[in-house]
Structure 1
Amino acid sequence: MNAVEAGKVETLTALEAGTTAEAAMAFFDSLQPVALGTMIGSWRGSGLPTGHPLDGLLERANWHGKRFDSPEDVHPLVFSGGGTQLYSVNPARVPMGLIASHPGLFNSRLAACLFPTLRSFLRTRKPAARLRMTEYRGVTSATMLYDALPINDIFRKIDDDTLLCLMDMRGAQAPFFFVLRRETGVDQAARD
């Protein structure tokens, strides 16, 4: 890691303690684009707390991250089923409109307890998104396009193994920020 990347990691670490959407966007805008090939693999995800209504929701549901098998085969929502077991969720079965309009209802202990009981309904082995290069705020970078939802996740590079990401959802007042960190040695048996 060079000095520039080390500075970006230091900034990210400070932002992960809690920040504003404006500060997160300023940092996002300062970062380099990501090539499609960089995305291939498994990534561990975590939210970047900015005061967004969705902050903490994914973590309470045991969100693990994302898996990019190829530009055409993306698993956008990978969750932990306990231990090393990971499974993909079909985003088309997640009531995103309801979640966006009533985040408090879903951002609770009760919702986190109910989520595992819905696993068999939500689970899928099929990819549910694709990767494309798109322009966002004047920069062309790798973007994950959900197949069934009006959501794009735009990726910017902190270093080769760390990305700052922005979820742009139609109708949302503000973007949702999250971080992806590349996983190495992910066991295929732990998937699905």
Structure 2
Amino acid sequence: MSTEDRALALVLGHDLPRPGELAALFRELPPVAPARLTGLWRGGVFDPEDRMARLLARLRWYGKRFTDPEDVDPLVCRTDDGGLYTYDGMGSARLREVVYEGVPSAAMVYDGRPIIDHFRLVADDVLMGAMDAKGEASVLYFHLTREPEEP
């Protein structure tokens, strides 16, 4: 099974990751250019018990919106009635190409927080992310799936 196929199986929930597997998969996935991220992306986490994942669940995190490289909504959340809104508590962000573990790829850099979300390509409309937050003992691995554009 290819790295991309294994990552996609985990994104789709067909299996649970083995210890250390997410970091290894992330390192092996190909980079993605920032220009490919434009649009609304639905997010998910691989480990719902992670401290940051529990925080995202409390916020009812839906995903991320990349309008252009300078205009990113890092936390798009759900309202009580199912609508979407931008959670402003973490501020805004921007896209850059950043070298992470030796690979230049798209990354979302928070404007006012010491957090960088690094992205790698799983499939045309599926990304794997690694949230690197200063002061956190571990990296939060997550996934994003592009939503179809509204007509």
Instruction: Work out whether 1:158 is the aligned partner of 2:125.
Output: no
Instruction: Work out whether 1:170 is the aligned partner of 2:141.
Output: no
Q: Distance in 2 between matches of 1:54 and 1:15?
A: 23
AA matched with 1:29? R
Question: Are the equivalent residues in 2 in contact too, given 1:52–1:174 (CA < 8 A)?
Answer: no
Q: Deviations over 1:122-163 (max 9, x none)?
A: xxxxxx100000000000000000001000000000001111
Aligned mate of 1:183, from 139, 147, 151: 147
Q: Deviations over 1:64-109 (max 9, x none)?
A: 100000000000011011344211112447xxxxxxxxxxxxxxxx
SS in 2 for 1:38: helix
Match of residue 9 from structure 2: 10
Question: Which structure dedicates a bigger proportion of its chain to helix?
Answer: 1
Shift of 1:14: 5.8
- What residue ranges of structure 2 are gaps of 5+ in the alignment? none
Match of residue 42 from structure 1: 40
Question: Are the equivalent residues in 2 in contact too, given 1:16–1:49 (CA < 8 A)?
Answer: no
Structure 1 residues 78 and 14, CA, compared in 2 at 3 Å: closer, same or farther? closer
SS in 1 for 2:53: coil
Match of residue 56 from structure 1: 54
Structure 1 residues 176 and 84, CA, compared in 2 at 3 Å: closer, same or farther? same
Question: Are the equivalent residues in 1 in contact too, given 2:3–2:25 (CA < 8 A)?
Answer: no
Aligned mate of 1:143, from 107, 111, 120: 107
Question: Who wins on radius of gyration, i.e. which is larger?
Answer: 1
Match of residue 73 from structure 1: 71
Q: Alpha carbon RMSD of aligned pairs, Å? A: 2.3
Question: Which structure dedicates a bigger proportion of its chain to strand?
Answer: 2
